[in-house]
Chain A
Amino acid sequence: MRRRILPGFGISLGYALAYLGLIVLLPLAALAWKASGVGLHGLLHLLESPRTLAALKLSFGGAFLAALINVFIGLLVAWALVRYRFPGRRWFDALIDLPFALPTAVAGIALTALYAPNGWLGRWLVPLGIQVAYAPLGVLLAMVFVGFPFVVRTLQPVLQSLERDVEEAAESLGATRRQTFLRVILPMLVPTLLTGFALALARAVGEYGSVIFIAGNIPMRSEIAPLLIVQKLEEFDYAGAAALGVVMLAFSFILLLLIALLQRWSRRWAERAA
């Protein structure tokens, strides 16, 4: 066997695999094992229910939209924080992590208090016909809130490492500002934007704590899939709950896989462009 230059390969791989197995694979295997109680027939029956479908649509559709919004706002915020120096910048930068640290229930209650018909913002929005709290829009808002830091924090180091001379070269070759951004900077950012998107999406799909307070939880309208899981648990239907969990996991897996493929493709595309 050839000796590796870097020592410790065996032990670090061993630890990595053991940890991964213990912390990720074992719970997932237990989930699948519990879910197998309902069988294929039960799984199909689950997917036939319009209520389950509506909840899955809201959870995944909402998460997708929220991640998309976060990519745009996150890029803007990360850009401002990296490129410009302004008073209070560090303070602002620290604020970004708040959605990470805040217990999600607190976030949900705060958002609901703001946007409820008697809240500070809600009392102006509701007369205009914009209902945020206790409506699907509230679900979206909570999902945007919890996913926001992911995009900013993944983009920041990449933006920092962008070489200024690339932009200068583009400009001296006669590119307009727009062209420089769209054809030079953006292609370099796309893989990172996709990473941020995937993280924000994954976070929003599984979000329960904050959404539950603001959603209103009306079946077919503002009921998220994780709530259906909780309802099944409440009926002591462990297998049904696990089955729905597996369905969500499968959807998430497919989505993340697609994003990873997109990322690979975009990286190649960026290399070819460069």
Chain B
Amino acid sequence: MKIRTALFALAGTLLAASAMARDVTLLNASYDPTRELYKAVNSAFAAQWKAQHGDTVTIRMSHGGSGKQARAVVDGLPADVVTLALAYDIDAVADHGLLDKNWQQRLLENSSPYTSTIVFLVRKGNPKCIRDWSDLIKPGVQVITPNPKTSGGARWNFLAAWGYALRQSGGDETKAKAFVKTLFEHVPVLDTGARGATNTFAQRGIGDVLLAWENEALLATHEPDGDKFEIVVPSISILAEPPVAVVDKNVDAHGSREVAEAYLKFLYSPQAQEIEARNFYRPRSAEVAARYAAQFPKVNTFTLADEFGSWRQTQAKFFAEGGVFDQIGPGN
């Protein structure tokens, strides 16, 4: 009898203690180039949460190709939040019932707290005089891009080129198709992911132009040997919006919804926007953007919604089996 009372007392104290300072762990499934970004964001958020609530938040990261991460979550990776390269991958997670299909309306700005765009990285001095998309299909120019079938970043590359070609031809899709077909004939190596393509261009010395996320290109030029490269901004590019979302089913199972939602909201806060800008992502906040104006060149962009509609439609038309990308490829 005595022992039982003691046990009850012990359990009671433990419960009380855990209610006072809970240790919360979040798992964020993200894509490849965000390693440095989320390392900085996570420690800032943990410090803020501790100051406001007294709880310790530990955020574990999982990085990989965007599509691969989405599949991992579908197959049971217990991620509380997903922060991926494109909305289609989160759509796929939603299709498997892990979160609400209208997830993209739940947060501001299409659920993309930061943006990026597609730029050209060329070798020092720009020996092939690359100024715009049309220069990429000049004879003797080799272009490096990952495969749109396996890389989220490469899909943005493809759509940026398509948008340019469509504007040039006054909306003629046949001509746009011919342009991207020629463009991909100038690609000697199709890596499976964005980091791989950057390595092929930077370490192996293959190609004259790398089509890259602006954040990756800026990172490359800020590396110790970054003076070997220059960034060229084309006349027009796409506004890439990498989205974030809470995975409903997982946070409800872990009881971590409150923290997870606060974590994603934090990405929009002035403090986090500053961190994002420092890591070469374009902040949504005009105020922070103004402070980093020197870092981000002025780019004319169109959005996915302007030009193509939703990611579902875009995926079906361009990148699904038998889509535009398959039609322009050899062997089809």
Contacts and interface: CB of A to CB of B under 8 A. Distances in A.
Interface stretch (A48-56, A75-83, A86-94): A48-56
Interface stretch (B23-31, B199-207, B244-252): B199-207
B150 A230 contact: yes
Interface in A195-236: 212-213, 216-221, 227, 230-236
B330 A133 contact: no
Interface string B181-192: 000000111111
A237 B321 contact: yes
Q: Which 10 A-B pairs have the closest CB atoms?
A: A51-B331, A118-B205, A116-B204, A50-B331, A220-B331, A231-B149, A234-B67, A220-B330, A217-B190, A216-B189
Interface residues of B, number: 26
A234 B206 contact: no
Contact of A235 (B68, B321, B329): B321
A236 B319 CA distance: 12
B147 A50 contact: no
A117 interface: yes
A212 B189 CA distance: 11
A133 B332 contact: no
A217 B71 CA distance: 22
Contact of B192 (A51, A217, A219): A217
Contacts of B321: 232, 235, 237, 240
Contacts of A234: 65, 67-68, 149-150
B320 interface: yes
Contacts of A233: 67-68, 71
Interface string A89-124: 000000000000000000000001100111100000
Nearest to A231: B149
B330 A51 contact: yes
A218 B187 CA distance: 8
Contacts of B319: 235
Nearest to B189: A216
Contact of B191 (A117, A217, A219): A217
B204 A217 contact: no
A43 to B, nearest CB: 14
A116 B206 CA distance: 8
A51 B189 contact: no
Nearest to A240: B321
Contact of B204 (A49, A113, A212): A113
B152 to A, nearest CB: 9
Contacts of B68: 233-234
Contact of B332 (A51, A119, A213, A231): A51
A134 interface: yes
A144 to B, nearest CB: 21
B92 interface: yes
A113 B200 CA distance: 10
Contacts of A134: 188-189, 206
A234 B203 CA distance: 26
B67 to A, nearest CB: 4
B330 A219 contact: yes
Given A112-B204, A116-B204, A236-B71, A217 B147 contact: yes
Contact of A231 (B150, B191, B203, B206): B150
Given A233-B67, A236-B67, 4 more contacts: A54-B331, A113-B203, A133-B204, A235-B320
Nearest to B71: A233
A218 B65 CA distance: 20
Nearest to B322: A49
Contacts of B65: 234
A234 B206 CA distance: 26
Contacts of B190: 216-219
30 contacts: A49-B332, A50-B332, A51-B331, A113-B204, A116-B204, A117-B204, A117-B206, A119-B204, A134-B188, A134-B189, A213-B196, A216-B188, A216-B189, A217-B147, A217-B189, A217-B190, A218-B188, A218-B190, A219-B329, A219-B331, A220-B330, A230-B150, A231-B149, A234-B65, A234-B67, A234-B68, A235-B321, A236-B71, A236-B92, A237-B321
Interface in B195-228: 196, 203-206
A65 to B, nearest CB: 22
Nearest to B152: A234
A233 B75 CA distance: 12
Contact of B205 (A50, A117, A221): A117
B253 to A, nearest CB: 23
Contacts of A112: 204
A67 to B, nearest CB: 26
A234 B329 CA distance: 17
A49 B330 CA distance: 11
B236 to A, nearest CB: 27
Q: Which residue, of A117, A119, A227, A236, has the highest number of chain B Cβ atoms within 10 A?
A: A236
A192 B22 CA distance: 62
A49 B205 contact: no
Contacts of A119: 204
A258 B258 CA distance: 61
A10 B319 CA distance: 54
B329 to A, nearest CB: 5
Contacts of A116: 204-206
B320 A212 contact: no
Interface in B67-126: 67-68, 71, 92
Nearest to B205: A118
A133 B203 CA distance: 13
Contacts of B203: 113
